[in-house]
Every structure is written in structure tokens, then in C-alpha cells.
């Protein structure tokens, strides 16, 4: 099986095991944090939008809560049924079980979002091109990606581990997550007092999650077959090469990139 197909299969299994979007993980507060500093939830009111790689539908529900008029939600994995089940206003959503490069070229969307997805696609260029075609002129594409900068120590630890963990069956990976969970809580306590790596993310995002969602986030780092950590240059080049203009980047909590571009 190719890396791209294995990643989709991995996510299908992951979301069947962790299907809900409770608490801060599925909240409008977190959505504001993800959109900042480029957009606010109120910018999405009455807009036609799409999300590429919807997983369990947490971002779709955030878009609906922000007042989107219509959402096209793409999810190619077996999580499609979870997505369907979780959506709060199904009459305002079109769910498509397809990959991002097949996003219909309707040319009338105001915004397209892809949160935590492109870094799991070995060749994301066709997805960026499909987003370009689906937007109206003046429409905007916002993506969130894992960053290379700010993650040096983390990557030195996690990259060798992932060689093994991405191959583990669910029960073994879930057990490993349980072992890692408790030292991580201690690390967060230390972050309150010391300027440790990933402090911004730990205190502004991770600590606000429920214990179950914290475990999911650890699992999510170890499970997918393919994950790339982008430099700022690579992140902005992704959209610039896709013909987007006014491309801007933000180093979110010092560990990831939010990138936004406009279709001319």
C-alpha cells in the first residue's frame, strides 16, 4: 500500500477509536485560536466554505457554529461515517468521501480550510490546485501545518519513535500513549515555571484539553504513516506555487504554521 493510502487508512482506524469532539477540542474558542491572527469566526458568517480532511467533523461543526451558510466537508477515510454522525446541522453540509485533489471546481467558495491535513499528504500540490479552482476570485485558503522551527528537540525524540509507532496495532499504541501521558503531565507542570520547549503550545492548547483528548493528541502524533514538519519557506511556497496571492504566515504558538492566501 502507498504511503498516502496507508495514512488515510490509519486515520480511518484512529477516528473510529476516538470519534467524539467534546470540550475545548471541539470549541469555538479553539477555532478562534486556529484562525488567529488572520480571521475571526465572525468573518465566516453567511459564507460558503469547504474543509479538506474533516476527520470527525470538529472543524465542520466549528464552521457551522460560526454561522457558515454551507459547508462542503471532504473526508476520504473510513471516518466518513463518524463525520456524518457528528455533524450538528446536516442540512447545511455536503459530505464527500473523496481526497482533497477531487474537491469539485465550483469556483464560488468564499473560504477553504485545511487544518492538520496537508502535512499528512506526500504530494499536496494537487490539493492546493483543487482549492484554487473551487474558490471564487477573492476567496481565501487557510491551512494549518506542523512546523519544523520550534520543534527541534521534539522531532529529535519523536522521529525515531515514529519508525516503530506508525506500525503498531491500536492496542499497543494506546498502551504506549498511556505510558507517555503521565510524564507529559509533569512536563506541563514544569512549563508553568520554566521556559521549556513547546511551552506556548502546552499551556495555551494542550493543557486545556480533556484527559481523553490529550491522549488522542499523543496518539495522533505517533499513528499516521506520513507526517512532514514544514519550514516557514516550505509552508508559504505551497500556496505561492498554487498561484495564491498575498500569502501570509503565522508561527502559531511557536511550533506550527498557519498560512493564508487569496485567489486573485
Ligand X SMILES: C[S@@+](CC[C@H](N)C(=O)[O-])C[C@H]1O[C@@H](n2cnc3c(N)ncnc32)[C@H](O)[C@@H]1O
Q: Does 61 bind ligand X (CB under 6 A)?
A: no
Q: Does 117 bind ligand X (CB under 6 A)?
A: yes
Residue 11 CB, nearest approach to ligand X (Å): 3
Residues from 30 through 59 that contact ligand X (CB under 6 A): 52-55, 58-59
Residue 124 CB, nearest approach to ligand X (Å): 8
Residue 16 CB, nearest approach to ligand X (Å): 11
Applying CB under 6 A, the site for ligand X has a residue count of: 22
Task: Give whichever of 210 and 246 is closer to ligand X, judged by the CB atom.
Answer: 210
Give 57-61 contacts, CB < 8 A, sequence gap 24+: 57/21, 57/82, 57/83, 57/86, 57/87, 58/21, 58/25, 58/26, 58/86, 59/31, 59/113, 59/115, 60/86, 60/87, 60/93, 61/21, 61/26, 61/86, 61/87, 61/88
Q: Does 77 bind ligand X (CB under 6 A)?
A: yes
Binding-residue pattern over the window 181 to 220 for ligand X, x denoting contact by CB under 6 A: ---------------------------------------x
Place of cell 494549518: 144
What are the backbone angles phi and psi of residue 21, rounded to the nearest 5°? -125, 40
Footprint of ligand X on this chain (CB under 6 A)?
A: 7-8, 11, 52-55, 58-59, 74-77, 79, 99-100, 115-117, 120-121, 220
Amino acid at each position: 500500500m502507498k504511503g498516502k493510502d496507508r495514512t488515510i487508512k490509519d486515520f480511518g482506524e484512529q477516528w473510529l477509536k476516538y470519534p467524539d469532539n467534546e470540550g475545548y477540542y471541539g470549541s469555538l474558542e479553539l477555532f478562534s485560536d486556529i484562525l488567529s491572527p488572520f480571521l475571526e469566526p465572525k468573518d465566516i458568517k453567511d459564507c460558503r466554505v469547504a474543509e479538506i480532511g474533516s476527520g470527525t467533523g470538529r472543524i465542520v461543526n466549528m464552521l457551522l457554529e460560526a454561522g457558515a451558510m454551507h459547508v462542503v466537508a471532504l473526508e476520504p477515510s473510513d471516518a466518513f461515517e463518524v463525520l456524518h454522525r457528528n455533524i450538528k446541522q446536516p442540512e447545511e453540509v455536503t459530505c464527500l468521501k473523496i481526497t482533497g485533489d477531487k474537491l469539485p471546481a465550483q469556483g464560488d467558495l468564499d473560504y477553504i480550510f485545511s487544518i492538520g491535513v496537508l502535512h499528512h499528504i506526500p504530494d499536496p500540490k494537487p490539493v492546493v490546485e483543487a482549492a484554487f479552482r473551487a474558490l471564487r476570485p477573492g476567496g481565501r485558503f487557510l491551512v494549518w501545518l506542523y512546523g519544523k522551527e520550534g520543534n527541534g528537540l521534539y522531532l529529535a525524540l519523536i522521529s525515531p519513535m515514529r519508525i516503530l509507532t506508525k506500525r503498531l496495532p491500536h492496542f499497543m499504541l494506546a498502551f504506549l500513549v498511556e505510558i507517555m501521558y503521565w510524564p507529559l503531565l509533569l512536563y506541563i507542570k514544569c512549563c508553568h515555571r520554566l521556559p521549556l520547549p513547546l511551552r506556548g503550545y502546552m499551556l495555551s492548547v494542550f493543557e486545556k484539553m480533556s484527559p481523553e483528548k490529550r491522549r488522542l493528541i499523543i496518539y495522533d502524533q505517533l499513528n499516521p504513516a506520513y507526517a512532514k514538519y514544514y519550514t516557514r519557506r516550505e509552508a508559504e511556497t505551497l500556496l505561492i506555487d498554487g498561484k495564491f496571492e498575498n500569502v501570509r504566515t503565522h508561527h502559531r504558538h511557536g511550533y506550527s504554521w498557519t498560512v493564508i492566501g487569496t485567489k486573485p
